Structures are given as structure tokens and as C-alpha cells.
Amino acid sequence: MMERHTRQQAKQLYLCLLKDPFKLPYENRKLLDKKIGFFNTTTLRNLQSWINRINLALNIQSEKSRVGVSDIRDWLKTAKPEESRMYFLNDDFSYDSDDTRNYGVHFPDEDDPSHWVI
């Protein structure tokens, strides 16, 4: 009676995971490569071992999703674009047409602006 119940529960778990294999980590999806007859014919020890490995894989995947490792949507929310600032004429720096203030490379006309006609 208990053995039949265990086999039935394992088969239901297998069918559920076949519909949604993303509940398992990628490296553990090979556990779903069993045929349906496996659950009826294998020894109870093999079946229990399969159930234990599936449970461990499900725990690993739930830890990853809790941390946010496997969810790209959370990564996109936290990824911020490069910070930019709008500059106005009364700011405390000289105009830099090529926006290279931080890199030290300027157009020649910015090194010696004395020839500028205003």
C-alpha cells in the first residue's frame, strides 16, 4: 500500500515537472529523462533516490530565485544607466564641445581658445 502510494506520488511529480521543467536548475533537468515505466518497475530504493535528487534540485532552484540569481527582470530593474547631468551656462567649468572633460583628450581649439571669435 505505501509502496504504491510512493510510486503514484513520484509519477505525479514527474508529470508536473515535465510540464514545467524550469522549476529545476538547468544542470538537473536530466533527471526528467526517465520513461513513465520507470516509476512502475524500478526498485523502491531507486525511486526514493530519484525523489531525493528532485527535492534537492527544487531546493537549489528556490534558493536561486529567492536570491534573484536566475531572474533577469530583477537584474534589469537594478541595472542603472550611466549617470548623466545636464549642464547650464552658469556652471563652474569651461565649455567642452566633445564632452571629454574626464578623459583629458580635447580638440585643438579647446586647448588654446584665444582664436575664438565671439
50's CB contacts (< 8 A; 6+ apart) are: 10, 31, 34, 38, 42
Range of weakest confidence among 28-42, 47-61, 91-105 = 91-105
Phi (first) and psi of residue 24, to 5 degrees: -105, 150
Every domain of the chain and the residues it spans? 2-70
pTM: 0.55
Find cell 567642452 and name the residue: 96
What single string gives the DSSP state of each residue in 41-102?
A: HS-HHHHHHHHHHHHHHHHHHHHHHHHTSS-HHHHHHH--PPP-----TTSSS---TT--TT
Summarize pLDDT for 58-98 with one digit per residue, the tens. Answer: 999 888 776 655 556 666 666 655 555 555 555 555 555 55
